[in-house]
Amino acid sequence: MEKIVFLERHTLRAPLRDPSFEHTMRYYADAEKRPEELVERLKEATVVIVNKTPLRADVLGRLPKLKLIAVVATGTDNIDLEFCRARGIEVRNVRGYAAETVPEHVFMLALALSRNLLGYREDVRAGLWHRSEQFCLQTHWISDLHGGTLGIVGYGTLGRGVERLARAFGMEVLISEHKGATSVREGRTAFEEVLRRADVLTLHVPLNEETRYLIGHEELALMKRTALLINCARGGVVDEWALAGALRKKRIGGAGVDVLSTEPPGLGNPLLDHDLPNIIVTPHVAWAGHRAQQELADRLMDNIEDFFKRAED
C-alpha cells in the first residue's frame, strides 16, 4: 500500500480525485519548514505532494521509503533535484496548466499600470472628479498597449500565451534570446535589444543559478523610462532593491509583480513600501484561476498514477 502525504493542501482550492491504486493519503493544510517536523510528517511516505515547502537533502536523506515527489506547480526550485537523482527519487511537476490565467494576469497588470487605473480610482474616491471643471478628469498619464512593443523573456507555454494576447492587442512582440548568448536564434532578439525596445517587459523563466537576478541595476538602466516591468515568474529573478530604486528615481515607468523573493514576505521587502510609486503587487495568484487549479489537480493525480503504472510495467 502506498502512503501519500500532501503538504500545503490549502494552496490547491480544487477537488482531488482518489488515485486508482491501493493507498492511504494524509493531508496537512499548513506549511512546515522545520526539518524535524517535516521528517516526522513524511517518514512513512512513499509519495509526497508538495507545492513550495523546501525539500532539501537534510530532510530527503531521512526518508528511506520515498519514491516520488509530485509537485503541485511548475517550479521545482524548492527541491534538491541533484540529491533526488542520486537517490533514485523521481520528481514530477505540472507544466502548462496556467496557459490562460497567467497571461491574463500579466495583461491585467500591464493595463492597470499603463492606464493608471489605481491612480484614477483613488482620485475619484478623493472627490477630485466632483470638483472637476470639465466632464473628464485627466490627472494621470494614460498609455495604450496597442502599437507598443512587448518583450518576452522566457518563451515556454506561458510566454507563448502572453504572445497570443499581445498580438490580439496589436502589439509588436520581441522574443528574447538568452542573456549572454553569443548568437541569436531565428525568431529571437538579443536580450539587451529587447530591454531597450520593450514598452512592456514580461518575465516567464524558472528560478535557477542562471536566472537569479536576471534583472538588476544594469538591465533596468537599459530600459525605456516609460517601460513597464511585469514579473509573474519568481521573485528571485529580479533584484528587488534595484527595482525599488529604479521606480523611486523614475528610471522606468512602473512595475507589476505577482511574486517576491520570500513568500509570504517578511517586513522590509522594498517592493512593499507604501510610498513606492507606480507599482502593483499581487500575492502570487496569477496561476490561481479556478479552471487552472482544477486542471492542476487533475494532472497532479495523472502524474502519480502514471508513475506507479510505469513501475508495474
Non-local CB neighbours of 24 within 8 Å, separated by 6+ positions = 1, 2, 3, 4
CB 48 within 8 A of CB 27: no
The DSSP H or E segment spanning 279 is strand 279-281
Asked if pLDDT for residue 24 goes beyond 70, the answer is yes
Beta bridge partner(s), residue 281: 257
pLDDT at 313: 63
pLDDT tens column, 90-142: 999 998 899 999 999 999 999 999 999 999 999 999 999 999 989 999 999 99
Report, as residue numbers or ranges, the catalytic residues: 234, 263, 284
55: burial class by Cβ within 10 Å (0-12, 13-18, 19+)?
buried
For CA atoms 297, 299, 305, 307, the dihedral sign is negative
33 against 39, higher pLDDT: 39
77 pLDDT band (50/70/90 cuts)? confident
Greatest extent of the chain over all pairs of C-alpha atoms, in Å? 77
pLDDT tens column, 148-191: 999 999 999 999 999 999 999 999 999 999 999 999 999 999 99
Q: Which domains does the chain have, with CATH numbers?
A: 2-97+291-312 (3.40.50.720), 101-281 (3.40.50.720)
